[in-house]
Chain A
């Protein structure tokens, strides 16, 4: 894990650091009639080229909002975005819409969850890829079309020269997702954000798509942010993991640490909730009690405390004081009041044997 240590030139506020993508204290709030929705509330992370960051969390934890925020896809009129996003030395939050638009697609691209609703039903798949390519490259239609066919072939669509003229509805779910990936990669972006890219797909197709993303990442050496709720997908693909809960990062670790030495009760809960094929079948799953909080009324103190089985071990600190994200081991951060020794003990004695 590189990049967590402060860079030599003390990258303070308003200065670029060495990391390729550097998100600092990102806050995305939506004022609504019912109150302020704090979808993302102070998120900080770095990502280098060629690495994959997995963002994990339940619905409503702010993971998709984060990705849309990086791409600058929020309407500034109904959302408050603050903090800093540095992409390859350029700051995005304060940048003008036009600047961000130039970067979007060329330097950063996104694969959306539902390929049917995120492609235009009225234009052929080829046209949509050609459009994306021609916006950023001054080429003729013929060249762009050739490029589109090339990309479709690259992501494994059979007979790309024929399928390029098909409409999205003529593709199957897996092929649509491939076409989406082809579109996202058409301008060789350096940052690729995949928002639940396989959730709508069957397992066999999911395996194909994950392979494809992995191969393409190696080929283009791009940075990938993988947003998902499926810990299996994260374990397969990511180098680092960021666990989000109620708009904040509760744990940040390398993939090994996150699965073998997690330090946050929420991560334990996620691991315990999953039935696993690689283990003996357990009699019962260990779910997290309750349900994710509303982002309008985030619980006081540690947002996880109403669902945390260890909340009362902190002498009431859980209800009043928000735990800060601190580095507990090199490259491993967690936001929890429990003393580190106690956490290690609980993990080793209570959680791990039952997984």
Chain B
């Protein structure tokens, strides 16, 4: 399918950027083989990510949300080339990095960094903070002006750690401080793009807010671009400029932050948003809840056509037969649904048309009553 409509400057809200894409992902997918028998014959594939396309502009933050198992972390790891994609293309600063060898990729590692979820397992317990944060300098053979130690201490200060902690070990720090060490390590080489995989979900609420604020300050200060992977919709709303919602290996909706949270189009996004508990007892009774039934289907055997149809309350026959393409229904707002909400009738027609034109699909009547 891959209807990755290139971004028009119309949907630019942040005035600073010129809309130049830093990272482009086209129809990216990862199928993990399932093998059986003596010969390790492949009998099935876990379709963790099944064709996602998006782009990230310089200086913006793209949030990637979804439930566990939807492929958001796999997508992040593929962008980092920690996992090799099964198909698709990753273009970073105009250069296709999908097939680069590890050696050729090394210069790009400087620009592409990752923050991991668990600050306890992502730091080597045998190394001091100085060695951990200084490792990127060593690996990339970079001579810091006043020596690596000085450079590391500056970074530690930047992320709000005491530079005197240079010789301490990770276990001497609290969870929030460890996450800061992880952030310091990613910042060592002044990267352009940081993929943050659940950067705050392992932290306490009060510490979470500190790290979120830190990430925002660093973005302003160092002109960073983030891809933030998270399951917490309120955190994502707070830090993202644009948000992509994933379900079972596909992107179902991409939009500007305010657009997505105020006018969600895809039923799944609606359901996700209405499931978030609101910390206000006064609203307890009044909220209209959409309750999804059951669990996310297995990515081993995802439902045909629209993958959400097994849990969707709006599903019609067409949802089981024709896969809805990701189309732009309003400026900067893409959704993949036959019966999107918060939209006009003409938009529904647009989906129907887009669904029929490229595909081999049977020509179903696109409007079997609303």
Contact = CB atoms under 8 A, between A and B. Distances in A.
Interface of A: 58-59, 158, 172-175, 202-208, 210-211, 229-236, 255-256, 259-260, 269-278, 281-282, 284-289, 291-292
Interface string B286-312: 000101101110000000000000000
A259 B280 contact: yes
Given A204-B275, A274-B279, A281 B205 contact: no
Contacts of A286: 209
Contacts, number: 135
Nearest to A294: B174
24 contacts: A58-B205, A175-B295, A202-B68, A203-B276, A205-B295, A206-B275, A206-B277, A207-B289, A259-B282, A273-B205, A274-B205, A274-B209, A274-B234, A274-B279, A276-B278, A277-B233, A277-B261, A278-B280, A281-B257, A285-B209, A285-B213, A291-B174, A291-B175, A291-B177
A203 B272 contact: yes
Nearest to B205: A273
A273 B209 contact: yes
A235 B209 contact: no
Given A204-B292, A275-B237, A285-B213, 5 more contacts: A206-B277, A230-B277, A256-B281, A259-B282, A288-B209
Contact of B277 (A232, A272, A292): A232
A252 to B, nearest CB: 15
Nearest to B173: A291
Interface in B71-95: none
Interface bracket on B: 35 or more
Nearest to B207: A291
Contacts of B278: 232, 235-236, 276-278
A292 B175 CA distance: 10
A234 B277 CA distance: 9
Contacts of A172: 295
A255 B281 contact: yes
Contact of A235 (B237, B273, B284, B294): B284
Contact of A277 (B67, B174, B237, B271): B237
Contacts of A272: 209
Contact of B295 (A174, A256, A270): A174
Contact of A204 (B177, B234, B272, B284): B272
Contacts of B276: 203, 232, 277
B348 interface: no
Contact of B231 (A58, A202, A211, A230): A202
B67 A204 contact: yes
Contacts of B219: none
Nearest to B235: A275
A282 B278 CA distance: 16
B4 interface: no
A204 B205 CA distance: 21
B216 interface: yes
Q: Which of A173, A175, A229, A274 has the most CB of B within 10 A?
A: A274
A260 B278 CA distance: 14
A162 to B, nearest CB: 16
A327 B216 CA distance: 40
Interface string B234-278: 110110000000000000000001100100000000011111111
B237 A260 contact: no
Given A58-B206, A59-B204, A285 B212 contact: yes
B176 interface: yes
Q: Which of A204, A206, A273, A289 has the most CB of B within 10 A?
A: A204
8 tightest A-B CB contacts, nearest first: A232-B277, A287-B209, A273-B209, A275-B238, A288-B206, A285-B209, A202-B67, A207-B275
Contacts of A259: 279-282
Contacts of B273: 277
A65 B190 CA distance: 43
Contact of A273 (B208, B284, B294): B208
Given A273-B206, A276-B234, A203 B279 contact: no
Contacts of A203: 67, 231, 233, 272, 275-276
B283 interface: yes
B316 interface: no
B97 to A, nearest CB: 31
Contacts of B280: 235, 259, 278
Interface in B162-205: 174-177, 204-205
Contacts of A287: 206-210, 212-213
A204 B204 contact: no
Q: Which of A205, A207, A229, A230 has the most CB of B within 10 A?
A: A207
A158 B238 CA distance: 37
Nearest to B216: A284
Q: Which of A230, A260, A277 has the most CB of B within 10 A?
A: A277
Contacts of A289: 210
Contacts of A236: 277-278, 281, 284
A278 B206 contact: no
A212 B171 CA distance: 39
A233 B213 contact: no
A58 B213 contact: no
A281 B176 CA distance: 23
B243 to A, nearest CB: 12
Q: Which of A206, A236, A282 has the most CB of B within 10 A?
A: A236
A236 to B, nearest CB: 5
A354 B268 CA distance: 31
Given A204-B292, A208-B291, A281-B237, A229 B204 contact: yes
Given A204-B67, A235-B277, A235-B284, A275 B212 contact: yes
